[in-house]
Amino acid sequence: DIIQSSGYQATVAGFKGLGYGTEEAIELVKLSVRLAVQARNEFLEAKASGALTLHGIKLGEETPEGVRYFSEGALPKPLVAASVGPYGAFLADGSEYRGYPDVQTEYLEIFHIPRLALFCEEHPDILSFETIPSYAEAIAIAR
C-alpha cells in the first residue's frame, strides 16, 4: 500500500507568487509529505493498539455474516510517496504534457534539487515523479 502526498505542483516560488513569505512557502511545500507520514503513523498506531476499525468491526473480528474485514497479513506498513511533478506543473500552462524544449537540463536540475530536499526533510519512503514530459527533465532528475 502507498500513501501519496499531494505536492505535485507545490513549489516555494509558486507559493511566494500567491503572496506567502519564504518561510511559510517552505512549510507549505513540506506539508503534503508531513501529512501523509502522519496519516500512515496514525494508521500504524491504531493497528498496533487494536483500535483499527471499519464500520465498527475491529482488526480480526468477524461481521455478523462471518466476514473478516481485516486480517494481519492484509495490512502491511504503507509506504509514503512524495508526489513530485515536473517543471511544467509549476508553470501551470499545460507544458507538463507537451514539454519545454527551450529549457536546459541544468536549469531543470536547479528547479528540482531544492524542492526534493524539502520533500526529503519529511522522510517519505519513496519519491514519485509524475508526468515527466521530456528526456532532458528525466536526466535532470536522475542527476
Task: Give the span between the Cα atoms of 40 and 38, in whole angstroms.
Answer: 5
Number of CB atoms found within 10 A of residue 67's CB: 8
CA count, 13 A, side-chain hemisphere, 55: 8
Q: Which three cell numbers stand for residue 131?
A: 508526468
143 residues of the chain, pLDDT tens digit each: 899 999 999 999 999 999 999 999 999 999 999 999 999 999 888 888 877 777 777 777 777 787 766 665 566 789 999 999 999 999 989 999 999 999 999 999 999 999 999 999 999 999 999 999 999 999 999 98
Task: Give the span between the Cα atoms of 23 and 81, in whole angstroms.
Answer: 23
Q: Return the amino acid letter for 109.
A: E
Domain that holds residue 81: 2-142
- pLDDT computed for residue 75 by the predictor: 65
Q: Which three cell numbers stand for residue 1?
A: 500500500
- Domain tally, the chain: 1
- pLDDT computed for residue 1 by the predictor: 84
Q: Which CATH number do you get for residue 46?
A: 3.20.20.330
pTM value > 0.85: no
Long-range contacts of 110-117 (CB under 8 A, 24+ apart): 111/87, 111/140, 112/84, 112/87, 112/140, 112/141, 114/12, 115/10, 115/11, 115/12, 115/29, 115/84, 116/84
For helices 105-121 and 22-49, what crossing angle results, to 10°? Answer: 50
